[in-house]
Amino acid sequence: MSAFEYQNNELFVEQVAVNRIAEAVGTPCYVYSRTALEQQWQAFDQAFGDHPHLVCYAVKANSNLAVLNVLAKLGAGFDIVSQGELERVLRAGGDPAKVVFSGVGKLREEMLRALEVGVYCFNVESEAELEILNEVAGQAGKVAAISLRVNPDVDAQTHPYISTGLKENKFGIDIDRAVAVFERAAQLPNIKVSGIDCHIGSQLTTVTPFMDAMDRLLERIDQLAAQGIHIDHVDIGGGLGVRYRDEQPPAPSEYVSALLKKLGDRKLKILMEPGRAIAANAGILVTEVLLLKSTEVKNFVVVDAAMNDLIRPSLYSAWQDIIPVTPRAGQGSACDIVGPVCETGDFLGKDRELCVEPGDRLAVCSAGAYGFVMSSNYNTRNRVAEVMADGNQFHIIRRRETYDDQFALESLVP
């Protein structure tokens, strides 16, 4: 069951009317469901049964401290890509020993901080990074546990901007170089080889590309074992898709059982880094209709949310459902839902059948992942409030910015 359902012709999040939240905090605002977040994380975690595993939520998908805290309380691990994300995990009560540190360009000071707090491992993305990490760990008198992120060269069949496992992408180490790089890693005094990982792309809607990638990783693992280099874990990355419109991605349980089957009787711990699959359908963006505008060829619904608040439609031509918070009776007409930002690309949806009047509220669905985190202050718009519903209560988990917040970091020249 979705956490967002209509009750008496009014949209609810859990047991809270979305209108009640909008009246209290204003619009636009992001609204998340604690229950939906928890259920999705648990769906992954429980699918493994007693097989050793660690589900590391990809912080980049939605990094609000309250979101991280809710997951940390369930015992979640975290996939981070910056010190900023690490500091968020720590602030939210996450366990650093369950953190994997990904990213193609980690800074020395970021490595140092991660060593200091004791992350589970670094997902190393290049030979150069391996050498730097060895040096930094040596200077700090530590040994860094690492996994090598290999690029398995499989086609994730997703949008080119979010496809990462092809030879031409910047991510990971060429799979054909992997064994040589592991050999090098095994010789470095301040490095401990722990795993192998990949991340082939995002919003994947079948298990096939994951299985292809897993085959390639397992081949390398077997080859390494024959050379006496033993790996404890395999990390398949994130990327499981969600339903935005009519996609039918596999359920976490189906995906995980396919992975376990592939593993056979190898005694490897499995890690994964789902972001979108945990957060996307746990959130909506609530916006208010400012006015209606029609030209000879188009009907526009101008709303108070814009591309700076939710950039996915503009950036990836992503389709996210847009539904009325309180539906009106009557025939809808095709319209574009656009924001106040001065860009033609500023739209949340195109050609949607909607029956709305100024003052009505709309919900942009599936906005819990890559929504607020990708927002900006473009056009000097304050970033919006975030709210988490929990049963029949709701909590403001990030207040709306003020202009003073925005200006506080700037100064005039004398």
Instruction: Give least dist CB 188 to ligand LLP, A.
Output: 23
Instruction: Give least dist CB 402 to ligand LLP, A.
Output: 27
Instruction: Give least dist CB 142 to ligand LLP, A.
Output: 23
Of the residues 198, 342, 355, 365, only one is catalytic, namely 342
**Residues 321/306, Cβ–Cβ less than 8 Å:** no
CA dist 233 and 275 (Å) reads: 20
Nearer to ligand LLP, 18 or 240 (CB): 240
**Residues 99/120, Cβ–Cβ less than 8 Å:** yes
Nearer to ligand LLP, 183 or 254 (CB): 254
Is 274 annotated as a binding-site member?
Answer: yes
Instruction: State the Cα angle at 129 between 270 and 109, rounded to 5°.
Output: 100
User: From residue 332 to residue 371, what is the string marking binding to ligand LLP with x (rule CB under 6 A)?
Assistant: --------------------------------------x-
Q: Is 68 exposed, middle or buried (0-12, 13-18, 19+ CB in 10 A)?
A: buried
Is 247 annotated as a binding-site member?
Answer: no
Q: Catalogue the E-assigned strands of 254-399.
A: 269-272, 283-294, 299-303, 322-324, 333-338, 347-354, 361-364, 385-390, 393-398
- The amino acid occupying position 150 is V
Instruction: Give least dist CB 211 to ligand LLP, A.
Output: 17
Is 370 annotated as a binding-site member?
Answer: yes
> Does residue 281 touch ligand LLP according to CB under 6 A?
no
Instruction: Give least dist CB 117 to ligand LLP, A.
Output: 20
Nearer to ligand LLP, 275 or 324 (CB): 275
Q: Which of residues 184-223 bind ligand LLP (CB under 6 A)?
A: 199, 202-203
Is 345 annotated as a binding-site member?
Answer: no
Nearer to ligand LLP, 105 or 391 (CB): 105
Nearer to ligand LLP, 199 or 381 (CB): 199
Q: Pairing state of beta strands 99-101 and 77-80?
A: parallel
Residue 399 DSSP one-character state? P
Distance of CA 112 to the CA centre of its chain: 25
Whether 342 sits among the annotated catalytic residues: the reply is yes
Is 238 annotated as a binding-site member?
Answer: no
**What is the H or E stretch that residue 16 is in?**
strand 16-17
Instruction: Give least dist CB 376 to ligand LLP, A.
Output: 13
CA dist 197 and 376 (Å) reads: 31
User: From residue 290 to residue 319, what is the string marking binding to ligand LLP with x (rule CB under 6 A)?
Assistant: ----------------------x---x---
- The amino acid occupying position 190 is N
Q: Catalogue the E-assigned strands of 198-316.
A: 233-235, 269-272, 283-294, 299-303
Q: Pairing state of beta strands 121-124 and 144-151?
A: parallel
Largest Cα–Cα distance of the chain, in whole Å?
72
CA dist 340 and 241 (Å) reads: 30
Q: Which of residues 55-84 bind ligand LLP (CB under 6 A)?
A: 58, 61, 79
User: From residue 233 to residue 272, what is the string marking binding to ligand LLP with x (rule CB under 6 A)?
Assistant: ----xxxx--------------------------------
Q: Which of residues 97-156 bind ligand LLP (CB under 6 A)?
A: 102
Is 343 annotated as a binding-site member?
Answer: yes
Shortest CA distance to 364 belongs to which of 245, 249, 204, 240?
245
Residues with catalytic roles: 342
Residues at the interface with ligand LLP (CB under 6 A)? 58, 61, 79, 102, 162, 199, 202-203, 237-240, 273-277, 312, 316, 370
Binding residues: 239, 273-276, 312, 316, 343, 370
Binding residues for substrate: 276, 312, 316, 343, 370
Binding residues for pyridoxal 5'-phosphate: 239, 273-276, 370
